[in-house]
Structure 1
Amino acid sequence: MFYLVGLGLFDEKDISLKGLECLKNVDKIYAEFFTSRLFGSSFEAIEDLVGQEIEVLVRGEVEEEHKFIEEAKTANVALITGGDPLIATTHSDFLVQCSKKGIDYEVIHGSSILSSAPAISGLQGYKFGKVTTIPFPDYNFYPKSPYESIEENLKMELHTLVLLDIQAHNDRYMTVNQGLEYLMNIKNDLDREGLITEDTLAMGIARVGSKDVCVKAGKISELIDFD
């Protein structure tokens, strides 16, 4: 049987009792932390909690090899990840594969930034529009879609939850400052007057789920230099 287990937001203590019971009883545990990770924990801390060794997978093993699914034909195998496991489309595909191969599976959900960030912002949840992600720019890769998504939401008088890119394999984690700089660079590249300016009200949220969570609201010009 295959178990897909979400670990929650910040550290190993965020895992649900159902998830903990599952991980204590499976035959093998794999982990992937490139789509999401627990910034207040480590896989060693999770190993201590569940009493089992955990094999951390690299991106290719998750997206291409899928050995954990093959092993689930004859053993109880769990794949763990930060947040809620079905937020990443890659993980949804695992369930499709299990169905095609006749492998039983169970999803154990975890708390997600998609609900926690809007909640801690104090804004009304039903006033949020399309979610967007700001990626790390690269050679010939500087998409304007994050800016355009925010603009479309503003036209409908909706808030936007903007996720920031992570590249765990390179130990790169985008900050709020970098995300705002990205948006301002796009604004400066546009040949038209955009709806997003340095005076636009924004809110930066960091370390959600921890005791020192940071929530700061203000104009983009104020937040872009806030540490």
Structure 2
Amino acid sequence: MLTFVGLGLYDERSITLQGRDALEQADQVFAERYTSRLVGADFDDIEAAHDIDIDLRAREGVEQDPEPILDAAESGDAAFCTAGDTMISTTHVDLRLRAHERGIETRIVHGTTAAAAASSLTGLQNYRFGKATTLPFESAHGGDGVPGSVIETIEANRDRGLHTLVFLDIKVDSDREDYMTGDEAAAMLATDWEETVPAVVVARAGSPDPVVRGDRLDALAEETFGEPLHMLVVPGALHHIERDALVELADLPAEVADLA
């Protein structure tokens, strides 16, 4: 059995009770942190909280050499966990399909996702979000500025009156972790749109002190939003309740809200 477990958004307590049980019942537990991570806890905290040992795998250890995970699932109960939900944005469908090819039973224990938190914290209606996108560091895509695919996604959503959730890049090396911040993302996007385009930074969703701050892109580029992780939302056309929510909950200036 291979059980995919979402750890939730913030710390070792963000996991569901079902997820906790799956970790404690597993013979071996694997995890990765290259797609996302818990900023309120490290894997030592998770191990201590659940009295388990975790085999932390690098990207190549999951995507190119999944055999240790599959072998463990074939001979016993293995759990594979990530921050958020293992199949939403931090998708590991390929690993699940490889397990099925070997006749290994799988199941999913869902965790709270960043997409759900972005909707909940901003007050934007979840069914009015279009396609999400990820804004990479310039060094990650070998070019300058914002990739055309990101611009096209946001513009296509805005043309349809839909909101865009922009995930911000994470770089994990053996000795360093870099997280794109909301102000960095706003500065990059501000070069492609006129100053009147509003946006909302969501920082540390799931934590006791999340930050939700809306303004024009160029104004957000001049602010700081504290510790990671950050997301950016570019609103489309606003329902009047969504407008009021952004003004009240995200401190979006009313005159900027009216430009959405």
Q: Same fold (TM over 0.5)?
A: yes
Matches of 2:90 and 2:179, distance apart in 1: 20
* Match status 1:218 vs 2:215: yes
Q: Which residue of 2 aligns with 1:190?
A: none
* 2:205 pairs with 1:208: yes
In 1, distance between residues paired with 2:209 and 2:111? Answer: 21
Matched, 1:77 2:78: yes
How far apart, CA to CA, are the structure 2 residues paired with 1:3 and 1:95?
9
Q: State yes or no: 1:176 paired with 2:179.
A: no
Show the counterpart of 1:108. Answer: 109
1:127–1:159: 8 Å Cα contact kept in structure 2?
yes
Deviation at 1:168, TM superposition (A): 2.5
In structure 2, relative to structure 1, the CA distance for the partners of 1:119 and 1:112 (3 Å cut) is same
5+ residue gaps in structure 1?
188-195
For the 8 Å contact 2:187–2:217, the answer to whether it is kept is: no
Q: What is the aligned partner in structure 2 of residue 135 from structure 1?
A: 136
| Aligned-partner Cα distance in 2 for 1:7–1:156 | 34
* Residues 63 and 90 in structure 1, CA contact (< 8 A), matched pair in contact too: no
* TM-score normalised by the chain length of structure 2: 0.80
Q: Give yes or no for contact 1:34–1:59 (8 Å, CA) kept in 2.
A: yes
Kindly provide the amino acid, as one letter, of the partner of residue 184 in structure 1: A
SS of 1:29's equivalent in the other structure is strand
Q: Residues of 1 paired with 2:101 and 2:55: CA distance?
A: 25
Q: Is the 8 A contact 1:118 1:161 kept in 2?
A: no
Amino acid at match of 1:205: V
Pairwise CA distance, 1:87: 1.7
Contact 2:63 2:95 in 1 (8 A): no
Letter in 2 for 1:141: G
In the alignment, does 2:52 pair up with 1:48?
no
The structure 1 segments of at least 4 consecutive aligned residues displaced by more than 2 Å after TM superposition are 139-142
Aligned twin of 2:59? 59
Q: For 2:52, what is the secondary structure of its paired residue?
A: coil
Specify every segment of 5 or more residues in structure 2 that has no aligned partner in the other structure, as ranges: 225-260
Structure 2 CA distance for aligned equivalents of residues 71 and 163 of structure 1: 32
TM-align CA RMSD:
1.4
Structure 1 residues 25-65: Cα deviation after superposition (integer angstroms, max 9, x where no partner): 11111110101110111100100111011111111101111
Counterpart among 156, 161, 165 of residue 161 in structure 1? 165
TM-score by length of 1: 0.92
Bigger mean CA offset, 124-133 vs 208-217: 124-133
- Asked whether the 8 Å contact 2:190–2:218 carries over to 1, the reply is no
Distance apart, 1:98 and its partner CA:
1.2
2:197 is aligned with 1:197: no
Measured in 1, the distance between the counterparts of 2:203 and 2:89 equals 20
**Structure 1 range deviating more: 136-145 or 24-33:** 136-145
Residue type at the aligned position of 1:200: V
**Percent identity among equivalent residues?**
37
1:210 match: secondary structure: coil
Using the TM superposition, give the Cα deviation of residue 220 of structure 1 relative to its aligned residue in structure 2, in angstroms.
1.2
**Equivalent in the alignment of 1:7:** 7
- The partner residue of 1:144 within 143, 148, 159 is 148
Instruction: Note the C-alpha offset of 1:202.
Output: 0.9
User: Following TM superposition, by how much is the alpha carbon of 1:141 offset from its aligned partner in structure 2, in angstroms?
Assistant: 2.9
Aligned residues: 218
- Once the 2 structures are TM-superposed, how far is the Cα of residue 107 of structure 1 from its aligned partner? 0.9
CA distance in 1 between counterparts of 2:58 and 2:48 reads: 21
Counterparts in 2 of 1:16 and 1:152: CA distance versus 1, 3 Å? same
Tell me how far apart the structure 1 counterparts of residues 30 and 87 of structure 2 sit (CA, whole Å): 16
